[in-house]
Amino acid sequence: MNQKIMSIFIIGSFLLAFGATSGCIENPDGASYGSDCLNMEKIDLDDIIKNANNAGYSVEHKVTYSGGLQPESPIEGLNEKIGNDYKIATVHYFYNDIGLVLSLNEVPQRENSATLTFRGSNDIPLGQEVPDDWVTEMLMISFDMNRQDAENYVASLKNDLKLENGQTNEPVMLWMENGDTIESKIGNAKVWISEKPDINSIYDYLEDESTNSSLYFNYPGSCSEDFFNGNEKTGSIDYILPLITVTRINGNHTYRLNIDDNGTVSITVKLKEIEKEIPESKYKAVLKEMFVDLGFSPEQIDEFEFNYDPYH
């Protein structure tokens, strides 16, 4: 198995860190109508693509986020919710009212590589202590490492932070990444590590620490899951889903449907430059034809709310 490259950023202050711590570009002059997002329940994206091709529409596979990682083995409960072709983009751990964010990214220039980011909520110094033991546990959960290694990384980061930040309360960034050397700049301590991320462990931890979870859809290609222990939020995960854009040109107007693997849809109608508005009945009639061609119910178009933009 190829080893993944990880980097961790933790934004806070010295006293707080570890212990006081869609679519294509077109003529900008043309007006447009844009919809909200609606979820059409579970769909078969392959069938949608086939129907779109049969209708003569163009189909573009897209991504909302260039990074994300997949688990080493299937997560059964999650696969039942969103299928098995997702990636995990961001993980949030919460310590009381403090949030630490892990952003997982593939590095394009490094095959099978990734980065992982920890940062304080809202990228500002935190308001209370984050115990060393808790950060150590998060490292052990997030990476394939033992306690001693995790404690050593925490100690190295704190030491570098003292040297580079002069024990001030200014915001700092701590960067851990694969390798075998240490590089530091003022306010930026970097320690190289070799352990790979453990996505399954991250998900298991959040499930074990929670009594319930809630899945919601942000926009096509993205959904999130919040984890709770009673009323207290213990964490959240942002997922990336397969996404396509189906495009039809009709009367010099461009109709685009963004559709993801979980059935979340948004719509954009781009007008030609010389035309500032068209009747709602006109563009909805075209969209209803598209919905029929793709296998949706045409009546669902009336459930979308459209906003007019005279400039885009």
Confidence of residue 143 (pLDDT cuts 50, 70, 90): confident
Q: What is the pLDDT of residue 308?
A: 93
| DSSP secondary structure string for all residues of 50-106 | HHHHHTT-EEEEE-S-S--B--SS--HHHHHHH-SS-EEEEEEEEETTEEEEEEEEE
Whether 265 has a pLDDT exceeding 50, the answer reads yes
Note the pLDDT of residue 211.
96
278 three-state secondary structure:
coil
pLDDT-derived band at 299 (thresholds 50, 70, 90) equals: very high
pLDDT at residue 185, rounded to an integer: 34
For residue 189, what pLDDT band results from cuts at 50, 70 and 90? very low
Q: Which pLDDT value is given to residue 183?
A: 37
pLDDT score at 58: 97
pLDDT of residue 132: 77
pLDDT score for 12: 31
pLDDT: which is higher, 97 or 227: 227
Lowest mean pLDDT, pick from 32-41, 70-79, 132-141, 163-172: 163-172
Give the whole-angstrom CA distance, residue 219 versus residue 65.
12
| Helix, strand, coil distribution of the chain in percent, nearest 5 | 25, 35, 40
In the chain, the DSSP E strands lie at 7-12, 32-35, 38-39, 58-62, 87-95, 98-106, 114-116, 172-177, 182-185, 188-192, 212-219, 222-229, 232-240, 243-250, 253-260, 264-270, 306-309
Widest CA span of the chain, in angstroms? Answer: 68
pLDDT at 114 over 50: no
Output the pLDDT for position 128. 42
Identity of the residue numbered 197: P
Q: What is the pLDDT of residue 268?
A: 96
Beta bridge partners of 265: 38, 259
**Contact criterion met (CB below 8 Å) for 35 and 280:** no
- CA–CA dist 278, 250 (Å, integer): 13
According to the model, what pLDDT value does residue 292 have? 98
Across residues 224-234, what is the average pLDDT?
Answer: 92
47 compared with 106, residue with greater pLDDT: 47
Rg (alpha carbons) of the chain, rounded to whole number: 23
- For the residues 172-196, what does the mean pLDDT come to? 45
Delineate the domains of the chain, giving CATH numbers in brackets.
7-21+66-240 (no CATH), 32-63+242-309 (3.30.310)
- Cross-strand pairs, 184: 189
Q: Is 125 helix (H, G, I), strand (E, B) or coil?
A: coil
Asked if the model's pLDDT at residue 37 lies above 90, the reply is yes
| Range among 133-137, 167-171, 296-300 with highest mean pLDDT value | 296-300
Band (pLDDT 50/70/90 cuts) for residue 179 is very low
The one-letter amino acid code at 5 reads I
Task: Determine the residue type at 108.
Answer: P
> pLDDT-derived band of residue 125, with 50, 70 and 90 as boundaries?
very low
Average pLDDT, the chain: 75
Query: Per-residue pLDDT averaged across 189-202, rounded?
Result: 71
List of residues 6+ apart from 298 with CB closer than 8 A: 288, 289, 291, 292
| Sign of torsion over alpha carbons 79, 81, 83, 84 | negative
At 205 the pLDDT is 94
Q: How far is 49 from 295, CA to CA, in rounded Å? A: 10
